[in-house]
Structure 1
Amino acid sequence: MSNQKHRILVYLANGVQGGAVAREAARRGFAVTALVRDRAAGANLAQAGIDPAHGDLADPSSLDAAHAGVTEIVLRMPIGPLDRVKGFAANALAAARKASVNMVVLKLASASRPAPCDEPSFVANSVIEAMVRSSGLPYAIVRPTMYLDNLLKPGVRQEVAVDGVFQVPIDISQRIAWTSADDCAAAAMTLIENKTSGGDYLISGPDSVDGAELTAALSVGLGWKVIYRSEPLDDFEREVEAVMGAGEGKRVASKFRFFQDYKDEADAILARPYVPQPGLEGFCPSSIEHWARRHVNAFTEMPQQVSAR
């Protein structure tokens, strides 16, 4: 497939996950349009050879303009009230139909359950998936396990860099085949290059590890000892509430409570290592150690870093 005649529109391109998709598409020789609300972020993308398109998910006319010349889209939806997100998705899919795009890759933002259940984030994912499946457009769904990039959030990164601790509200015994934003971006682009539609793809890492094994691999990749700490869910919920406002702690913690309460479900969603799948020929996920080596500068450049190693 020659990528030069294809233009990819990447939604939420100024975020970690969307930015990874935009950069991977550009690296593979696609023309890339990045949908952004923040004009400053658009300027940064332009420096990387990516064409920013200023748009608003609530404004159908801006989405129509962003789809000009687009052949495929990588769709992500922001977190928010379900009715609002459904409206955003409807606008995006309507613009994609008007543009007669060849394919939509729905890239889910977090671990999710293919079958419906009552957990709010799973419900939201299920609704958006159903909209994509019934849109009449060729599609593929990219479903992650859990992102190693969570370690790059400022507070978490500080703890890893300064204290040598990775704290997360998941029991140390839970096995997870950790993925990354870069790997999910590579999977999305591979599906487009291979013209693979109609599938639902779990993108996980090559190794299923518990918390101690995770931090052992991180320690090798980063070059200093990191330990795993399971944060009590009540503590996590209170911390989120303090930062994000009333009700947000319960919403964010709900998925972690689901994993805690339904161990078999958690294993099915999180623990399975990557298995080669038709349509993803050429895709190979990265190891935890490799990811850590690639991102070590993000930790070593932290201000006021001390040696607790």
Structure 2
Amino acid sequence: MTYVIHGATGSQGAPVVAALAAGGKPVAALTRNPDTVVAGARVVAAGYDSADELTSAYRGADGVFIHLPVVSEADRQTYARNIVAALRAARPARVVFSTSGAPADPETGGAAALLVSGLADIGLSHAVIAPTLYLENLLMPYVLDAVHERGVLPYPIRADFPVSWASHLDVADAALALFERHDVTGVVSVGQYPAFTGPDLAQAFGAHFGKDVVFEAITPEQMRTSVAPVIGEGPATDVAGMYAAMGTLPDRAITPENSAQKLLGVTPRTTGQWLADIGL
């Protein structure tokens, strides 16, 4: 049995590699650099931009964990097409795709939706993990520095906007369960339920750090200028557009019917548990 993990050295793939390795599962860690060392895994050099490399990596796999990197939307769509072509050719036993919070409804368009449609068309055993917003977003310097220096948690959502926050660790837990549970297909929502607001989030940070922390709603444009030096202008603009669109919605809350809690018996961490687990 071999499990192939995209982004094995990154924030989304690394927890999946670690959890599989801890369970004694053989892991193939996909990276661009063949000299990379990944604890508990065999490194396989394969890039999103090569359908042939991906096909070779996927062939014979018992499970493949996929997510798309934070790059331009045009590149993401190219990568999605390559992944679908490789899956069609290699036909691994199981595929788990995390949307990373991107819209996956085919009517919305976009790379995540393209990949979801491709998975359905291929007919492989698969499931789609659908988180809302990642708690790891709050580790960006513009957020965490403000918490420590000013007692303020800034984020580009309204103060009354409930979100079912999830962590990369929660997604890894769901991915492992879905590798075992081939009977669970379709979309599995991963996130805290009931959803909670920005002020609730700030309160959790304050309780963890032992200080008063208040929430500050900022604009998507303010967020864009803060994250562009970290992720690049193009991706920052795309992310800001996503938050602007999100601002027209009533919430980003999961529904219990298709939640990991109900379908898999996997309960996401509270914000306090997550902060403790990552060692902050």
Shorter-chain TM-score above 0.5 = yes
- Choose the corresponding residue for 1:191, options 178, 188, 192: 178
**Residues of 2 paired with 1:201 and 1:148: CA distance?**
18
Superposition pairs of residues 146-165 of structure 1, within 5 angstroms: 146-165=133-152
Question: Percent same amino acid at aligned positions?
Answer: 25
How many Å separate the matches in 1 of 2:119 and 2:171? 19
Q: Which residues of structure 1 form unaligned runs of 5+?
A: 1-5, 298-309
Aligned to 1:303: none
- Measured after TM superposition, the shift of residue 296 of structure 1 is 4.0
Out of 15, 21, 41, the position equivalent to 1:50 is 41
Give the conservation status (yes or no) of the 8 Å contact 1:9–1:32: yes
Residue by residue over 1:78-110, the C-alpha shift from the partner in whole angstroms, topping out at 9 and shown as x without a partner, is 234445333322332333344331111111122
Cα shift at 1:278: 8.8
Aligned 8 A contact 1:57 1:92 in 2 = yes
Q: Match for 2:254 among 256, 265, 272?
A: 272
Paired position in structure 1 for 2:160 = 173
Contact 1:14 1:38 in 2 (8 A): no
Greater mean deviation of Cα atoms: 175-184 or 57-66 = 57-66
User: Is the 1:216–1:226 contact (alpha carbons within 8 Å) kept by the matching residues of 2?
Assistant: yes
Rounded Cα–Cα distance in structure 2 between residues aligned with 1:135 and 1:186: 26
SS at match of 1:142: strand
Larger Rg: 1
2:9 corresponds to which of 10, 14, 25? 14
Contact 2:71 2:235 (C-alpha < 8 Å) held by counterparts: no
Alpha carbons of structure 1 residues 39 and 147: separation in structure 2 relative to 1, 3 Å: same
Provide the C-alpha distance between the structure 2 equivalents of 1:261 and 1:203, rounded to a whole number of angstroms: 22
Write the distance in 1 (CA, Å) between the matches of 2:79 and 2:184.
Answer: 22
Structure 1 counterpart of 2:274, from 291, 294, 297: 291
The residue that corresponds to 2:28 in the other structure is 33
| Pick aligned residue for 2:192 from 200, 205, 229 | 205
TM-aligned CA distance change 1:274 to 1:101, over 3 Å: same
Q: 1:222 is matched with which residue?
A: 209
Contact 2:71 2:234 in 1 (8 A): no
Q: For residues 86 and 249 of structure 1, do their structure 2 counterparts lie closer, same or farther at Cα, with a shift above 3 Å needed?
A: closer
Q: Is the 8 A contact 1:215 1:227 kept in 2?
A: yes
Distance 1:63 1:218, change over 3 A: same
1:134 to 111, 121, 144: 121
The AA in structure 2 aligned to 1:169 is P
- Count of aligned pairs between the two proteins: 279
Change (3 A) 1:272 1:110: closer
What corresponds to 2:99 in structure 1?
108
For 1:190-249, what per-residue CA distance to the aligned partner results, in whole angstroms no more than 9, with x for missing partners?
011112353111111134111111111222233333221111233334445566666655
Which SS does the other structure have where 1:271 is aligned? Answer: coil
Partner amino acid, structure 1, of 2:275: A
* Aligned counterparts of 2:228 and 2:15: Cα–Cα separation in 1: 29
2:81 aligns to what? 90
Please name the residue that 1:301 is paired with: none
Instruction: Verify the 8 A CA contact 1:169 1:231 in the aligned structure 2.
Output: yes
Distance 1:296 1:257 in 2: 32
Structural RMSD (CA): 2.6
Aligned equivalents of 2:123 and 2:89: distance in 1? 12
CA distance in 2, matches of 1:164, 1:256: 23
Instruction: Give 3-state SS (helix, strand or coil) of 1:134's partner.
Output: helix
TM-superposed CA distance for 1:164, in Å, is 2.9
Partner residue, 1:24: 19
Counterparts of 2:77 and 2:219 in 1: how far apart (Å)? Answer: 33
Q: 3-state SS of the aligned residue for 2:107?
A: coil
* TM-score normalised to structure 2 length: 0.87
Any idea what SS the aligned residue of 1:116 has?
Answer: helix
Q: Cα gap change, 1:224/1:24 in structure 2, threshold over 3 Å: closer, same or farther?
A: farther
1:26-60: CA deviation from partner (whole Å, max 9, x where unpaired): 223321111011456x31x2xx2122211112223
Letter of the structure 2 residue corresponding to residue 102 of structure 1: A
Aligned twin of 2:67 = 76
Bigger CA drift: 250-259 or 151-160? 151-160
